[in-house]
Amino acid sequence: MSDEDWARGVPGTWLDGLLTEWRDLDVTALQERLAQVRHLRADIDGRGVHVVIAEGRGPDPLPLLLCNGWPSSFLEYLEVLPLLTDPGAHGGDPADAFTVVAPALPGFGLSDPPPPGGSGQAQTAQLWHDLMSSGLGHRRYVAHGSDLGAGVVMQLARAHPDAVAGIHLATPGLPLAAKPWTEAEADYARAVESWTAAEGSYAHQHATKPNTVAAALQDSPAGLAAWIAEKIVAWSPQTNAGDTTFPRDLLLATPTLYWATGSIGSSMLPYWNYMHGGRVMPDPEQRPAVPTAVTNFGGERLPLPPAPRDLAERYVEVSDWREYESGGHFPAACEPQLFAETLRSVFRPARTVATPS
């Protein structure tokens, strides 16, 4: 699978193979796998939210919120859940156990759609705090976010520093601050501009005319699979054989979830909201005193520009900074062991200050 093959988007022969596998997908096996985890339907201020909860097995499991982005879903966390909840059974320390809460973003999968204009990061962050605190009774907790979820988690820490004991951001796309810039920030600005021109057409479509593209994608399984799979392949590392490290069964299950729930259009609304008044620029003068770990997972076939530490420190209290050459944009799926070990490590300090649930 060469870059030349993908230069104009999804290669036809590759897509034909994916569609053949999708037609033969063992849906019963997928349903049985989903039945192995606990699902809840939460009503938060009249909005239905789908939540996966996995209880920790250890002396004092730490509540952990996981917040994904696009085109992601809770499905990406299924492989890593046992590593997070029961580390003692997977070569780790039982004291590092988490109780995991993985809600689906409004309009994603089995969660209700947001209002027509979408929910902003601050509004979604408030939903997640209400879920964790008044809904599930966790007075102190930690949170991880990637992609769109990283922005939500940053807002969560900013709005509720007394409840959030720490956050972890995976390869976050951070907004540029006011000049003057450091050399690293200037390099990042140029990289973002170049990447957006070459690879950002999907985001512009989501932010400007989501209903138009959604009508086409929800009418065509091939179109939906191409729209989702092209990004997953682009943002995942490749194997030595040239295939993606994103698991094949998950690559089939992800469009299945979007297709069955009709949620591809509503999953685009965060982009619309961000462009049309929902963008919240963090104030560098009001950084939340919440320890923030940042991990730039690398290795994508088409890397997204990683934000430099200089820029991150304008917005958050950086407590841990890591850079890996693997994991890509979907580290929980592509490198579950590395992802789990990273969260165990960066959140150990939070266990000494977090109030028991």
Residues 6+ apart with CB under 8 A from 141: 62, 63, 64, 65, 101, 132, 163, 164, 165, 354, 357
Q: Is the pLDDT of residue 282 over 90?
A: no
Domains of the chain, earliest start first: 4-351 (3.40.50.1820)
pLDDT tens profile 134-164: 999 999 999 999 999 999 999 999 999 999 9
pLDDT tens profile 292-325: 999 999 999 999 999 999 999 999 999 999 999 9
Closest CA to 67 of 133, 127, 135, 115: 127
Rounded Cα–Cα distance for residues 119 and 115 (Å): 7
3-state secondary structure 178-236: CCCCCHHHHHHHHHHHHHHHHHCHHHHHHHHCHHHHHHHHHHCHHHHHHHHHHHHHHCC
Residues 6+ apart with CB under 8 A from 134: none
Q: What is the dihedral of CA 147, 338, 250, 265, to 10 degrees?
A: -10
Instruction: Please give the single-letter amino acid code of residue 280.
Output: V
Closest CA to 281 of 304, 309, 321, 311: 311
Q: Is the pLDDT of residue 4 over 70?
A: no
Catalytic residue among 188, 258, 271, 274: 271
Instruction: Quote the mean pLDDT of the chain.
Output: 94
Comparing 48-52, 116-120, 154-158, 271-275, which segment has the lowest mean pLDDT?
A: 116-120
H helix runs in 12-147, sequence order: 12-23, 27-34, 81-85, 121-130
Catalytic residue among 50, 138, 168, 329: 329
- pLDDT of 152 reads 96
Instruction: Please give the single-letter amino acid code of residue 288.
Output: P
Active site (annotated) includes residue 147:
yes
Catalytic residue among 147, 160, 274, 315: 147
pLDDT tens profile 194-214: 999 999 999 999 999 999 999
Helix axis angle for 121-130 and 148-159, nearest 10°, is 60
pLDDT tens profile 22-45: 999 999 999 999 999 999 999 998
Please, are residues 298 and 307 in contact by the beta-carbon 8 Å criterion? no
